[in-house]
Every structure is written in structure tokens, then in C-alpha cells.
A and B are shown apart, each in its own frame.
Chain A
Amino acid sequence: MTETQADVEAVAPAASGPPPVPAIELDGVVKEYLAHGEVVQAVKGVTLTIAEGEFFSLLGPSGCGKTTTMRMIAGFEDPSRGTVRLHGQDVTDVPPNKRDVNMVFQSYALFPHMNVWENVAFGLRRKKVPDAEIRRRVGEMLEIVDLGGREKRRPREMSGGQQQRVALARALVNRPRALLLDEPLGALDLKLRQAMQIELKRIQREVGITFVYVTHDQSEALTMSDRIAVMNDGLVEQLASPREIYERPATAFVAGFIGTSNLISGTVDRVEDGCAVLRLGDDGRVLAEEGAHRAGDAIAVTVRPEKVMISTDEPAAGLSAVRGTVAEVVYLGLYNSYAVRLPGGTEVTVFQQNALDSTSTAERGDAVWLSWRPQHSYVIGS
């Protein structure tokens, strides 16, 4: 996590001089399709800015518009409304072959009639780069993706992971201003996918090119990205660093989509020392630090399972504290997972690490207290 944060700082504007031009800017981009005589909005208005050298992810469930957004950046789809800018230049009407970005397709889309070397050299040949330089750059790139010595192979003679790397090399060798990757690891098995995640991150650091990464896999986005835009139903729900997205989800959707999260809603009873206090049942209270709320506001609060403590004694003042009944205990090796039912019927998931002894604190059917610090309650609208 600390490394990711350092990267974010590295791409932040320098203290002096004009702010650097962002690599990619989307401004109110909308994409409508006509399907069976009906207008379908695949992307409903996306505005975002991607900095030079950033590893930026578009994360969201299948069908939320990630691919469509990326294809508008690449130039394969014309936005119905809005502007696409690459390095400050409006490219909304520029065809894909004239845009200085390259794409890695989910299905790789390698040229089946060319060998590895010719696949990788394709872009440079179109750009009329001198032969000697093509040979040098293709050779170097094949080394970077660890495919040296396999130049003469045809795509169909290679494994999925190797094809993946050919696709990557074919795009990167052109030194694009940005690389667009659409679920590039989706077709690989778990082990290879994890290895490739590390590999991709290394390559990105090595070449220093802006990566725009589309994925529906939240753990992939969290481990690799400098910043993540979480998309839902054609809109960006939250755009922030992985840590921020994980710890401070902006909406109920983000909270539910990223990891496991508990959602507790209620009415603000009073505001004490800048903390909104929600009443829950007869003696339960939820403290939330942030936001300007007034008594009577209906709000929802999320808290991550690992932030919740489970105990039989009443928690100290200054913590959120609610009573519940243990409905389920699941031993998961590193930690126990408890499902605790609150008086209102809401179920709260609690992870407790098995640090000292493996005996669980509570058993099924036990009446327990749950508690957490005010700063771990995130208010997500009403």
C-alpha cells in the first residue's frame, strides 16, 4: 500500500510550474446505442482525468460500460456526446490509426497469419520506422516480455500466457502515450493471472507509460492501480486511490462491490463533538465522524468487517456499540468470520484474526457486543 501511495505522489503535479498536461481526459462522454429500436445508454456521462504515467483502472461489474469507455478512448466508438482529449488535444473525431494510444484486446486479436516477430513489428512498419530500428526495438521488446527466441512462432503455436505477452509487446513497442488494456488477464487461470499482474506492474514501471486497465476483478484493481474509477450502470461512482476506495467507499454500490462491507442505516439522533450519533435498538449507537449531519437526517453507514471488534463486555464510551446475536461462525484459517444479527434484522459480518489462539471468542447463538471506532464508519449519502 505504501508503495502505491508513493506512486500517486510521483504523478501528482510538481510544486512549481504549470500543472502537467493529463494523458487522457474524458469530458461528459456519453455513448448511446440503438438496440431493437430503443436507445440504450452504455455510458451515461463520464468525466475523468488520467495523469501521465499513471496506472489507472476502470473497475465495475460486467455490462457497466467499461469496454465502451475504453473503446471511445481508442477511437473505435464515437461518443454520442462529450469530448475525448489525449495530451490536451481534442481527438473526439480522430480515427484510431491516428491516435497515439494502443490497445491490448481481451481476446488478444493477434494476427494469425504472422509470426510473433511480424506481429510485434506491425505498428512500427505502418509508421515507416527504419528497418534497423524496427529490428532493434522489436528485439528489445520481446526480451522485456520474456519471449526472446520465439520470434518465428505463430500465435496458434503459443499458450494463452505467451499470446498475452505478444499482445502486450505488439502494443508497447510503439511507445504509445497510453496503453489501454481490456480485461487482459481475463482468459488466464488464477495462478498465471497473478504472475501476470506482477509482470504487468513491472513492465509498466520499466516503460513508464500510462496504463488504462479495464477489469471486473476488484482485487486485481486494488493491487495494481494508482487510481481506480469504480463504474456502475454507465457512470463513475467513485474515483480514488485503492486505499481510499477500500476504506472510504463513496456509495453503497462501491461498498458492496469492493470486498465485504456492512451497511447500517438509521436516523441521526444527535451530533456530539462533530460525531453523528445514530440510535440502534434500545442501547445501540453508531458514531460517524465525517459529514455535516443534523439530528433527524436519515443516513447509511458502512464499516469493514475487519474493523469491527466482537466482545461479551459492553464496549468503552467513544466507540460505536451495538448488540447482536451470533448467527454463524466460519473458521477461515487466517481469521474467523462471524455473522451477527442486529435487533433490526440487519446482519453484520465481522472478521477476527486468529492471532493468539484459535479458539473463537463467541459461539453460535451467543449474545455479543460489536464495537468500532468512529473513524471507521463511513457515511454514504442518505
Chain B
Amino acid sequence: MKRFAPYLLILPGGLWLAIFLVVPMVFMASVSTQEGDVVNGFVQTFNLSIYGDVLSQYGTQFLRSAGYGLVATVVSIVLAYPMAYWIAFRGGSRKSTYLLLVLLPFFVSFVLRTVSWKFLLADNGLLLSPLKSLGLVPADFHVLQTTVAVIGGLVYNYLPFMILPIYVALERVDPRVVEAAQDLYAARRQAFTKVVLPLSLPGVFAGVLMTFVPMTADYVNAEILGGPANTMIGNIIQSRFLVNNDYPSAAALSFALMAAMLIGIFAYARALGTENVLEAAAR
């Protein structure tokens, strides 16, 4: 009995993964190589050429999504790190209040949050109309339907996923270790770059994974805040699937996206292998 205990323990999680991840994926993979249409039904023909077709057709959107995801991730790090740092080291007894504030947007639905941004950024909305009446920006200036609006929306919607893991990593840094660095002749800045930063990098890595992947696959922000020139791969998959009922193309795109992300993440983890980064930081 004892020997089977570990297997029993992974059973619930294993079943969960099997039913909700493996089965749909096998199903998707099978759909992607089928041919036909909704009316007459789809037939499995092992048509692998569809991968080449969708990639060449939607290559631009693929690259755009990766670019948006990358920029939004970098902006998120730049915004999230100081916030997480401040809460972890200066938050005092109110840390949990600040964390709640960080999470507060999640109490409102994702779509609603994004729509409210649409109102904020509208051509004569809360933000632009005062600026325009003051003559600070030209009358035909607009933010909506631009890259900036989409990336801004992505950052806004996923920022907590960057703040939280960085906060957790910083919170775990022993203040005595920082004092030890200062005691060993490190000025405040060096104590940060040589000790605090390297010790918090695992949190940044986690934050990147938790934001880059969903941001790259996102379609709500491009849909609501962007224009025709901001279409992301998520929008294509969504419309192929729900509007055109072109299941094989949608499934092939989803699979290609997933494969690209897995390869990207793998390369990222290898290139920024924690050990190497930490060793470099020690110098």
C-alpha cells in the first residue's frame, strides 16, 4: 500500500490534467488536420499542409503578437519592480492592504476593465478632451486604435501577475543579508545590484512567464482598444473559430502558437538559467 501512496496522491491532479488538458489537446490536434465544413462535417485527412498555409497567411499577426507581448512584458517589469520593492521593503504593517489594492482590478471583469479604458482613452474622453482643450495635443490626436493603446491595455490587465511573484521573491530576502552587504563596504546601490536584485530574479522570471504567455495570446485588448492594424493572433483564432467556423485553421493556429511559446519559454529558461545569472551577478 505504502508503495502506491505517491501515485494515489498525484491521482487527482493527474486526472485533472488528463481530462482538461491532454484530451482537448489531442482533440485539437486531430481537428487541425481535418478537412471539410460545418454543414457537411469534417473528415480526418491528416492534412499537414494546413500548418504551412496558416503560418504564411497570418505570419504578420504572429510576429505582431510576439512583439506586443515582449514590449508589454518589459514595460510590466519596469512598472512592477518598483511597486513590488516598495511594498516589500517600505510597506511596513500595511503590506496586505497594498497587495489587496494591487489585486483590486481583478474584482471587475476583464472585459469591463478593458471597456472602461476605452472610455478613458476615447478621442474626447476623460484623458484627451482636457488636453485638447488646453491645446497640449492636436485636435485630431487619438490613442484608441493604436499600438500604444493595445500594449497599454495588456500591461494594465496583466500587471498584477508581474507584481505578485516579484513581491514574493523580494519579501523572502533576509534584511540581515542586505545589511551584511552594506557591512562589507557595499553602498546602497551595490547592495541592491549585487544582492537584492539577483535574489529577486527568480520572481522576475516567474512574472515574465505569467504575463508574456497570456499577453501574447490575448485578443480582448486588441479587439476593444486596437484597430485593424493591431490584430493579434488571438483575434484571428477567435474569428476563424467562432465567426468563420473554420475549425481546422483555428486549431492549427492554436497549436502553432503553443509550440512557438513552448520553444520560446524553453530557450528563455536555458539562456537565463538561474545559476548563470546569479553567478554573473556575484561579480
- A residues with a Cβ closer than 8 A to B are 74, 76, 95-98, 102-103, 105, 107, 109-115, 118, 122-123, 125-127, 170-171, 174
Contact = CB atoms under 8 A, between A and B. Distances in A.
B182 A111 contact: no
Contacts of B186: 97, 122, 126
A95 B176 contact: no
B185 A127 contact: yes
Interface string B165-184: 00000000010110111111
Contact of B198 (A96, A113, A115, A125): A113
Given A76-B179, A107-B176, A112 B199 contact: yes
Given A107-B176, A126-B184, 20 more contacts: A74-B183, A76-B179, A76-B182, A96-B179, A96-B183, A103-B179, A107-B174, A109-B176, A109-B177, A109-B180, A110-B180, A111-B181, A111-B282, A112-B177, A113-B195, A114-B278, A122-B184, A122-B194, A126-B190, A171-B184
B281 interface: yes
Contacts of A118: 282
B214 to A, nearest CB: 29
A308 B198 CA distance: 62
A102 B187 CA distance: 15
Q: Is the interface of B mostly helix, strand, loop or mixed?
A: helix
B203 to A, nearest CB: 13
A48 B161 CA distance: 53
Contacts of A96: 179, 182-183
Contacts of A127: 185
A111 B185 contact: no
Contacts of A125: 283
Contacts of A170: 180, 184
B198 A174 contact: no
Contacts of A95: 182
A111 B180 contact: yes
Contacts of B177: 109-112
B282 A113 contact: yes
A173 to B, nearest CB: 10
A111 B195 contact: yes
Contacts of B182: 76, 95-97
Interface residues of B, number: 21
Contacts of B199: 112-113
Given A107-B176, A111-B181, A97 B282 contact: no
19 contacts: A74-B183, A76-B182, A76-B183, A96-B179, A96-B183, A97-B182, A98-B185, A103-B179, A105-B176, A107-B176, A109-B176, A109-B179, A109-B180, A111-B177, A111-B195, A113-B278, A113-B281, A122-B184, A171-B183
Contacts of A102: 183-184
**Which of B176, B183, B187, B195 has the most C-beta atoms of chain A within 10 angstroms of its own C-beta?**
B183
Nearest to A173: B184
Nearest to B198: A113
Contacts of A111: 177, 180-181, 195, 282
A76 B178 CA distance: 11
Contacts of B278: 113-114
A109 B187 contact: no
Nearest to A102: B183
A38 B283 CA distance: 44
B273 to A, nearest CB: 13
Contacts of A115: 282
A362 B282 CA distance: 68
Nearest to B201: A113
B183 A126 contact: no
Nearest to A74: B183
Contacts of B195: 111, 113
B185 A126 contact: yes
Nearest to B180: A109
Contacts of B176: 105, 107, 109
A114 to B, nearest CB: 5
A114 B199 CA distance: 10
Contacts of A76: 179, 182-183
B205 to A, nearest CB: 13
Nearest to A71: B179
Given A105-B180, A109-B176, A109-B180, A114 B282 contact: yes
B174 to A, nearest CB: 6
Contact of B184 (A107, A112, A113, A174): A174
A97 B174 contact: no
A125 B187 CA distance: 12
Interface string B272-283: 000000100111
B171 to A, nearest CB: 15
